[in-house]
Structure 1
Amino acid sequence: MLRESLQDMGGMMKRRAILIASMLAGSAWAFGSLAAPPEGRGNGNGSKGNSGKGNAGGNNKSERGRRRDGDVHADLLYAGITAVLARRYAIDLGLGGYSALPPGIRRNLARGKPLPPGIAKKMAPASLLGRLPRYPGYEWRIAGSDLILISLATALVADILYDVFD
């Protein structure tokens, strides 16, 4: 009798352990699928930052308004193009040889912050603008060797494509 009771308890404990393990695995799967990928990895909800494949045409409506979930600056757009593709456009158009910003100023250049004072900001050439995605209320600027997307309403940096004009 005691032996049968112990076997029943052992079987019950195994079932309980299997149930708990399956619940943990299911919750890890469910919550893992909701988590955003690390910056520049994967495509999360379909947005594209500085890595991944950009939109070659630049005017695809599906690229407009893409934002990443959990972003502190959710009101700002991402560029919708990669730095590699923008660099290819710049090389094709003969744009390059720009010197990089000094390290101290470049560290202050960040998404969601205003442009640091003292940066020589240039408008992107029209030939390049024709290839870049267009967003109402945003404009492309060049600072050093970087291409920057600026929100006109807030004058904040929306996205930075580093070393496009090396």
Structure 2
Amino acid sequence: MKTALALVLTSMMIVALPAAAKKEGHGNPHAQDDAYSQGGKPAKEGKSKDGGGDAVSISISAGISVGGARDIARDVGIRPGTYQSLPPGMHNRLAKGKPLPPGIAKKQVNPQMLARLPAHPGHEWLVIGIDLVLVNIQTKIPVDILPGVF
């Protein structure tokens, strides 16, 4: 009887461990740098507008803060105001985990700045409006947005 009880408890723990491991480390200590917000409000999460399930989960962190990116831009000679903000309608459609809106103006990052940014294989850094955006090369989906860097 003890053996059967031990076997049941062990199998329950084996099933529970992967679920607990997924929750561990789920939060981001740099959430204010990494959460894309509009007007001081965090970006919405949860169900998409079409009701098609949860928003896409992104696992890459840019590895740099907004302030760090601004410092690099300043060090390589990019002055504030060099780039213009996106129009409000287009700006609202730029979000992590969602495809880039068609026709959005994107520019290559200054090569000197690019050399100092963290490299992520399969991803590229782009300037979109005044934001620095890390985009998956194949899907063209932003995985991180550093707002107001420029």
Displacement over 6 Å in runs of 4+: none
1:85 aligned residue (54, 68, 72): 68
State the match for 1:155 in structure 2.
140
Structure 1: runs of 5+ lacking an equivalent: 1-32, 53-70
Query: Once the two structures are aligned, what percentage of the paired residues are identical?
Result: 43
Letter paired with 1:94: G
Q: Could you say if the C-alpha distance between residues 49 and 152 of structure 1 is closer, same or farther in structure 2, counting changes exceeding 3 Å?
A: farther
Tell me which of 87, 93, 108 is aligned to 1:102: 87
- For 1:12-161, list aligned pairs within 5 A: 34=24, 36-37=26-27, 43=29, 48=30, 51=33, 73-74=56-57, 76-96=59-79, 97=81, 98-161=83-146
Deviation readout 1:109-139 (Å, 9 max, x if unpaired): 0001111122111111110011100011000
Between the two structures, name the one with larger relative contact order (CA 8 Å, sep ≥ 6): 2
> Does the CA-based 8 Å contact 2:86-2:128 persist in structure 1?
yes
Distance 1:107-1:92 versus aligned 2 partners, 3 A rule: same
CA–CA distance in structure 1, aligned partners of residues 63 and 25 of structure 2: 21
TM, length-normalised to structure 2: 0.63
| TM norm structure 1 | 0.57
Contact 2:56 2:98 in 1 (8 A): no
Asked which structure has the greater CA Rg, the reply is: 1
Residue 73 of structure 1 and its aligned partner are, at CA, apart by: 3.5
> What residue identity is the alignment partner of 1:85?
G
What secondary structure does 1:51 align onto?
Answer: helix
Cα-Cα RMSD: 2.6
Cα shift at 1:75 = 5.3
The number of residues matched between the two structures is 108
2:106, 2:25 → 1: CA distance?
36
130-139 vs 113-122, which moves further: 113-122
